[in-house]
Structure 1
Amino acid sequence: MSIRFAFVGFRHAHIRDMFTRCQQHADIEIVACCEQDPETREQLAREGQISVTHEDYEALLAETQCDVIAIGDVYGKRGALITRALETGRHVISDKPLCISLAELDQIEQLANAQGRIVSGMLDMRDLPVFLGLRELIRADRIGPIRAISFAGQHPLMYGTRPDWYFDPGMHGGTLNDIAVHAVDFIPWATGQDLECLLAARSWNANLPDEPHFHDGGQALLTLQNGAGVMGDVSYLLPDSFGYQMPLYWRFVFWGADGVLEAGVNTPTIRLYRNGEQEARELPLPAGKPGAYLDAFLAEIQGATTDLHLSSGEVLRATRLTLQIQQAAVDATANLKLCD
């Protein structure tokens, strides 16, 4: 029997990926689509690819027989949408971020536990060839124990074409929470080491005088359990004219005791600098696992607890850590313990 999905909110482009994958998945039936924003409904009608069945979320919850609520609305509304889905006994999968406050996440986790429901997210960095390859090489000990990591997750802001809701107070939730969650999830998964301590985090208005309240800059300094240092920047500072095509886009460098690995979303290979050698090796990328985040969610809601490509527990953990990092940047908190 098919798993019945209802989609709620299409105001961020990421949800289109999930919608398309669900359309093409043999085990999924899309039974309803809700869009509460009139302008977005008009846009969807013009495009003709997504048929909106409901303009009111509460009506969808009351009228629709479904197993899963899939959420892609604006960030500031997601926490409440997830909460209502759980209250009515549905599983949830959401675009990232799941929510924009620790209080919202606390409520989500409490309800999920009480209702026996799964809440997961689109942390699809794990699905991409380059990140699967980096993990494989690190786990195979090709550079020895990890000593330091840097990641550059900067994005183009595209101000003027990016949706206006990004800049509405209370809707975005912070650049660190928006973007860094991918790295916060990927690094422990790749290295086998939890993030242990947040040494410092900063968010600030770097380059957007027209929106003085919006912090387009975001940086963090952390440690792993083994003492390795982690430096990350997820600012909206890439040149708009280059879009997402720069080699610096989602670029990771792992320094190990015996060498260095370097690669990013737009690099055709993984570069290995091995101690004792004079030239870098260009290592081929493995096959990707497109949509593996969705398959893992389907397996988990059907009872699987082991060998999951991405688990709900990992999604909730990464969400909590990233919200803590974002809050620390707001409060100027340093030396925040992240794990036992």
Structure 2
Amino acid sequence: MNIAFAGFRHGHILGLYDSVLASDEVNLAGCFEENGAVREQMKADKGITFSYDSYDALLKDDSVDVVAIGDYYGIRGKRIIEALKAGKHVIADKPLCTDLDELEEIRVLTEQTGLKVCCMLDLRYMPQVGKVKEMVQSGSLGTIHIASFNGQHCLDYGVRPNWYFEDGKHGGTINDIAIHGIDLLRLITGENLTEVICARTWNAFATQEPGFHDCAQFMVKLGEIAVTADVSYAAPKCSEMLPSYWEFTLWGTKGMVRFCLKDGNLYVFRSEAETIPCGAWEPALLQDFLKELKGEPSLFCTSDVLEMQKQVLLIQKAAK
């Protein structure tokens, strides 16, 4: 199985790149990056060799089975569509795309060809997720009526890529960040988006870029569950150390549960409080993607990933 990389405009893709290099199941076929400055940075920082001088050249390489996409958000849909038309499977950083029409074309192509599309939704591997899903779906917390999550990030202006603030390249803070939270709640509850009650994005902290809506909040329904979320670029630089960083809370008729990315514990509150250690983070994104390609049971499924992306884009579209 040969994987070629197209785009290194966001650092997330480097985790997948390292996984490919460490894997004995896949081979690195080559890399392409359109932006000269990014190419030089990747050569210097990671020792990456760029063997394709165009995306078209990558797609015409018959040895390539999978294209891994880490370009800027606004071009990802186009890149995925072109890869599918060239007969390649795709694994991409989140979000997959920023446009509902492009997403629909991707869906149609996957159904017509049987090709697979995976998204780097690594919060699925938080150690608490399996236990929370079991508790929720077994009914041990009763009927879940309310859920919330906080996915605030640090804007880190001057370090974050400049393309974030260029017209047509970012696509919205909800689509950028909330994709992780909606994906996780869908996985845990088994529910889908039924209504966007309200959504707002606005500029507050990114004073250097007044056209960039760095703040984002919304309230939606997944099934009959009321979900509130804040995914603003409002956190201080130490955002990953905050107890609220990727914090999820679900309230049921028999109790509530809380967990976050900062530790591996599950905090359960019924008549008494209980702390359940859940172990270490063990991401296996590449392995699960390969399982889907082989037709084996996997944490990822193309149709589910595309449906999740659609639901997040609908929330983004509703934002005012």
Match of 1:310 in 2: 300
What residue identity is the alignment partner of 1:323?
Answer: L
Amino acid at match of 2:295: G
Query: Deviation of residue 64 (structure 1)?
Result: 4.9
Letter matched to residue 321 of structure 1: Q
1:210-241 CA distance string (max 9 Å, x none): 2111100111111132x22110110100012x
2:260 and 2:291 mapped to 1: Cα distance?
Answer: 29
Q: Deviations over 1:264-304 (max 9, x none)?
A: 10034211111x33xx211111454412x322221222233
Give 1:8 deviation, angstroms.
0.5
Percent of aligned positions that are identical: 39
User: In the alignment, is residue 7 of structure 1 matched against residue 5 of structure 2?
Assistant: yes
C-alpha displacement of 1:141:
3.1
1:319 and 2:288 are equivalent in the alignment: no
Q: Match of 1:283, as an amino acid?
A: I
Question: What's the C-alpha RMSD, in Å, of the aligned pairs?
Answer: 1.5
- In the other structure, the counterpart of 1:283 is 276
**How far apart in 1 are the matches of 2:161 and 2:206?**
15
Q: Give 5+ residue unaligned stretches, structure 2.
A: none
Q: Which one-letter code corresponds to 1:245 in the other structure?
A: M
Tell me how far apart the structure 2 counterparts of residues 46 and 214 of structure 1 sit (CA, whole Å).
30
Q: Is the contact made by 1:296 and 1:311 (CA closer than 8 Å) also made in structure 2? A: no
Q: Secondary structure at the match of 2:128?
A: helix
**TM-score normalised to structure 1 length:** 0.90
Report the Cα distance in structure 1 between the residues aligned to 2:190 and 2:42, rounded to whole angstroms: 42
Aligned to 1:336: none
How far apart, CA to CA, are the structure 2 residues paired with 1:202 and 1:64? 45
Q: Does the Cα contact within 8 Å between 2:152 and 2:231 map onto a contact in 1? A: yes
Match of 1:335 in 2: none
Mapped partners of 1:105, 1:196: distance in 2: 19
1:153 aligns with 2:151: yes
Q: Give the CA deviation at 1:143.
A: 1.7
Q: TM-score scaled by structure 2? A: 0.96
Counterpart of 2:243 in 1: which secondary structure? coil
Partner letter of residue 269 of structure 2?
Y
Pair 1:254 & 2:238 matched:
no
Q: What is the aligned partner in structure 1 of residue 23 from structure 2?
A: 25
Q: Contact conserved, 1:297 with 1:312, CA < 8 A, in 2?
A: no
CA contact (8 A) 2:155 2:206 kept: no
What's 2:286 paired with? Answer: 294
Which has the larger displacement, 312-321 or 50-59? 50-59
Q: Distance in 2 between matches of 1:194 and 1:97?
A: 18
- Output the CA distance in 2 between the equivalents of 1:263 and 1:203: 26
Give the counterpart of 1:215 among 213, 216, 239: 213
Contact 1:132 1:286 in 2 (8 A): no
How many Å separate the matches in 2 of 1:249 and 1:48?
28
The reply on whether 1:264 has 2:260 as its aligned counterpart is: yes
- Aligned residue runs from structure 1 range 224-263, under 5 A: 224-225=222-223, 227-240=224-237, 242-263=238-259
Residue segments in structure 1 that go unaligned for 5+ positions in a row: 333-340
Tell me the CA shift for residue 57 of structure 1.
Answer: 0.8
CA distance in 2, matches of 1:15, 1:194: 28
Which letter does structure 2 place at the counterpart of 1:263? F
How do 1:110-259 residues align onto structure 2 when only pairs under 5 Å count? 110-225=108-223, 227-240=224-237, 242-259=238-255
Report the 3-state secondary structure (helix = DSSP H, G, I; strand = E; otherwise coil) of the residue aligned with 2:240.
coil
CA contact (8 A) 2:292 2:300 kept: no
Counterpart CA distance in 2 for 1:325 and 1:41 is 34
